[in-house]
Structure 1
Amino acid sequence: MNADHLTEDLRQLAALIAARLDGGPDTEPELDGAWLAELTGGPKPSHDEYVVVLLALVPHLMPHLFSRVIAEHLPEGGDLPEFGGVKAANHRGVLPTGETAQFVLAGDDLTRRRDVQRLFAGRHFFAVRHLLWLDPVPEGEPLMSGRLVLDPEFVERLTTGEVSPPRFSSEFPAERIETAMEWDDLVLPPETTRQIREIENWIAHGGTLLRDWGMGRRLKPGFRALFQGPPGTGKTLTATLLGKQTGRDVYRIDLSRVVSKYIGETEKNLSRLFDKAQNRDWILFFDEADALFGKRTDIRDAHDKYANQEVSYLLQRIETYAGLVILATNQRGNIDEAFLRRFQCAVPFPMPGPEQRRAIWAAAFPPQLTTDVDWDSLAHRFELSGASIVNVIQYCAVQALADGSPRVGRAALEAAVLREYVKEGKIV
């Protein structure tokens, strides 16, 4: 976006506001928002749409603009309720509201004011692309008195030219996960691998199926998968590798941390996440799905009632999300069967068998170390997950470095295995 072009558009906006304050513009300024379509990947905005975006941009780029124009119209001060606008805790200028947009674009013309209000409807591309919206207002207050809010990522892209990945916080309860590993580093049983390939096929061809083949009329958008299996069997790593393989960011959400004891807070936390993810092709990986999708009993009290509401809300957002959603659980039996029908596949991640354990031992053991251990014997004697095997190897490797010897004997390796068993509570 050319800064001079935007500066000129903001000057034209100031002239439009001044003309409205003087009784209404005779002609509308020529404002071309083609750059907005290029930046957002959406349609070219109409004149009214572009003016609303410029109004919302003013506090970020030219915070004195509204105050200056109003001061020129009211040099002795005074109130101008028809202009709308609100004050903020830190911002010293005027923050525009829906009423501001109605005043600038429509004045007292009721038909035009209704047209402006339609710009904030749920099906408008502002809402669909989560570009611009009205802040919620207290019950009983006019809807259009809500503050105009621009997507912070859009503002960041416009002002800095790039967007920083969102950071985990109470406002965004997810963290981006990455890996340096490849598919060859992951040992999975054939059935699991087959279903993972089916997910990859959907990522590659789902768009063609829904749009070009017309199946979008019959199928819900997106793909929903359940990863089920004990800890350490590769569920998180598989989700991360799916993102790496397909060029998509993967965000992990621990539902046990998202679920709040305060009524309504869980929905707010999840709403922020899905709003952020919309139209970004993220893979959403919900860990500890049992925290919200566990088997439900009859409603006995208010807590049960709101817990069911939280589940219904998450299901609704998952079913309308156009990307890949993965829920992970350590035990399928903990998940209510009614929920499982909403998923396209349930991928098993069982504990590795002897042959798989042998492959994991051999692949993960650093070539810098030497050992006389028989991997076949070790794999048959000790039942460990892939993550536990890596923990054992890490312990032995660090100990070898500390001892200054590259050799790891059978006794040392078996002692490390027993140490892992104690940690997991398998032996006391």
Structure 2
Amino acid sequence: MTDLLEFNYLKELIEFRLDTYFKLESTIPEPVMPELKKWSIHVPDLLVKAKLTTEEKLVLLVTLCPHIYGNLLDSIIQNKLTSTGDFPQLGGIRGKNFRGFIPTGETILFLLAADDDLKKKKKIHQFFGPDHFFNKQRILWLEDAPEGEPKMSGKLVLSNDYAEIFLLGKANKPGFSMKFPAQVIETEMEWEDLVLNKDTNKQIQELQTWITHGDTLLNDWGMYKKLKPGYRVLFHGPPGTGKTLTASLLGKHTGKDVYKIDLSMVVSKFIGETEKNLANLLAKAEKTENILFFDEADALFGKRTNVRDAHDKYANQEVSYLLQRIEGYKGLVILGSNLKSNIDEAFIRRFQAIIHFPLPKASERLVLWQKAFPKKIRLHTDVNLMSIAQKYELSGAEIMNIVQYACLCALEAKQKTIYHEYIVNGIRKEFQKGGRIMR
């Protein structure tokens, strides 16, 4: 016997089914499936709310067993089948590294349906269909069987993320890799450090409201029937105007991780590879419904072209696929672009919000300058921030670069005073980087 209530049930059920099959006099009656809330392992709310049937709970339990209680299935089978030897009706395979019993679809058939119960077998097949809750949520699935072999001979696969949730109570954050080309971006700054115009600020507040209350709107208010899941927004405007910082702050103040996607590892010149890369990324990300941030999204969501050759055809199919996958994501997706006109109109139509991040006005630049300098330094009397803000059109990021340069000049001079000369030289450097002429 095991101390884990649900696995003790599984042990008794398998023994009962084997006794019944071999027409042995069972020492125990058919056991009763314990409620999910009473399971010893951590069961996420998503599964509790799903109101799974007893059969679905058994599928979950059998699939989960090798991950939590690796030797349980083998010990049951060995104890019960010492006299009969191999028992193919029970299904199961051995893994490459894990040498224990890995259940297959046939294992579920044996536990839930008699050989001649075709109606029950059809129902069990549906548990592994594309429209079932298990597959839609990517909790578990039936691996494709080898060519020419029965579908139910495929092994039962549990998502690694859900395996961690059941065992640890939460899924570990996915690490940066070829299969997950995204990194969490964080910031030490706060909302008051972000300087935006009134209209942009208002739209950001609306976006924050959706992150906080979107789940209530869809589920508690029943709008899931009328609205698509998730939220898609475009941040567009010149570089350095606060798009990335805004995304970071949204995550920071709503308890969500913000994953910035490395598009260089997603976009591929090989046909079909971009779709595959994005599918892998979204499959991992949608378990947690965190925020996805596609910076410089033009490379992935750019306009479709007129079809001149096979490459154009596949490129257009690629954009259509991206549109479909992004629409199905249940969390917040932010696309960042320097120009709104670069994004395909099919995506534009499906955005819930399009937020412009313009270059700051003179009054906004003054606030940026005032907030930018460290408190430990002082500005020389020859520094007139009002005049500088009015004269030089700069983005927030450029202003920070200039402040950094000016502070380094002060440190090099072994003093804590910022002179006008330091700031002007820093501005000149930023203008030269952008190919602009300083007047």
Quickly say closer, same or farther: Cα 1:118–1:371, change in 2 above 3 A: same
Q: Aligned in 2, Cα 1:236/1:53: closer, same or farther, shift over 3 Å?
A: same
Task: State how far apart, in whole Å, the 1-side matches of 2:25 and 2:273 are.
Answer: 45
CA offsets 1:355-394 (integer angstroms, 9 cap, x no match) = 2222111101101111222112222333322112212222
SS of residue paired to 2:131 = coil
SS of residue in 2 equivalent to 1:357 = helix
Q: 1:126-175: CA deviations, max 9, x gaps?
A: 23333222234566554333321222222223323443222222222322
- Which stretches in structure 2 are left out of the alignment for 5+ residues? none
TM-aligned CA deviation for residue 23 of structure 1:
6.1
Deviations 1:301-337 (A, max 9, x none): 3332332222222211222333322111111121122
1:11 and 1:312 map into 2 onto residues whose CA distance is 48
The equivalent residue for 1:29 is 31
Aligned to 2:105: 98
Q: In the aligned structure 2, how far is the partner of 1:86 from the partner of 1:379?
A: 71
How far the C-alpha of 1:233 sits from its partner, in A, is 1.0
Per-residue CA distance 1:378-427 (angstroms, 9 max, x = gap): 22333322112212222333443454311121212222222333344446
For residue 40 of structure 1, the aligned residue among 32, 39, 44 is 44
Change (3 A) 1:199 1:138: farther
Q: Does 1:416 align with 2:426?
A: yes
Question: After the TM superposition, which of the residue ranges 277-286 and 290-299 deviates more from structure 2?
Answer: 277-286
Matched, 1:362 2:370: yes
Distance in structure 2 (CA, Å) of the matches to 1:362 and 1:107: 77
Structure 1 pair 284–422 and aligned structure 2 pair: CA distance change class (3 A): same
Residue in 1 that maps onto 2:349: 341
Alignment CA distance shift 1:213-1:51 (3 Å): closer
Is the 1:17–1:69 contact (alpha carbons within 8 Å) kept by the matching residues of 2? no
Structure 1 residue 30: deviation in Å? 2.0
SS in 2 for 1:201: helix
For residues 276 and 24 of structure 1, the distance between their equivalents in structure 2, rounded to whole angstroms, comes to: 46
Contact 1:179 1:241 in 2 (8 A): yes
SS in 2 for 1:312: helix
1:214-245 CA distance string (max 9 Å, x none): 54444323322111112211111112212223
Name the SS of the counterpart of 1:194 in structure 2: helix
Q: Distance in 2 between matches of 1:13 and 1:96?
A: 15
Q: Which is further off, 272-281 or 102-111?
A: 272-281
1:336-356 C-alpha deviation (Å, 9 max, x unpaired)? 223311112211111222222
What does 1:45-194 align with in structure 2 at a 5 Å threshold?
45-72=52-79, 75=82, 80-108=87-115, 109-137=117-145, 141-194=149-202
Displacement, 1:32? 1.0
Distance in 2, matches of 1:258 and 1:368, equals 43
Q: Which residue does 1:4 correspond to in 2?
A: 4
**Displacement of 1:77 after TM fit?**
9.2
Residue range with higher mean Cα deviation, 366-375 or 388-397: 388-397
Distance 1:140 1:7 in 2: 34
Query: Bigger shift: 345-354 or 194-203?
Result: 194-203
Deviates more, 1:287-296 or 1:132-141: 132-141
SS at match of 1:325: strand
Query: Conserved in 2, the CA contact under 8 Å of 1:14 and 1:65?
Result: no
Q: Distance in 1 between matches of 2:6 and 2:294?
A: 41
- Aligned equivalent of 1:267: 275
CA distance, structure 1, for counterparts of residue 230 and residue 36 of structure 2: 30
The whole-number CA distance in structure 2 between the counterparts of 1:179 and 1:25 is 66
The gaps in structure 1 that reach 5 residues or longer are none
Deviation track 1:38-63 (CA, whole Å, cap 9, x = no partner) reads 72212343332222222212222333
Q: Is the 8 A contact 1:224 1:326 kept in 2?
A: yes
* Per-residue deviation, 1:25: 9.6
Counterparts of 1:256-405 in structure 2, within 5 Å, are 256-278=264-286, 280-372=288-380, 373-405=383-415
Q: Which moved more, 1:348-357 or 1:7-16?
A: 7-16
Taking a change above 3 Å as real, the CA distance of residues 402 and 88 of structure 1, as seen in their structure-2 partners, is: farther
Does 2:411 align with 1:407?
no
Residue type of the alignment partner of 1:291 = A
Which stretch of the first structure deviates more once superposed, 396-405 or 191-200?
396-405
In the aligned structure 1, how far is the partner of 2:23 from the partner of 2:434? 76
CA RMSD of aligned residues (A): 3.0
Give distance in 1, aligned partners of 2:391 and 2:79.
85
Tell me the TM-score normalized by structure 1. 0.88
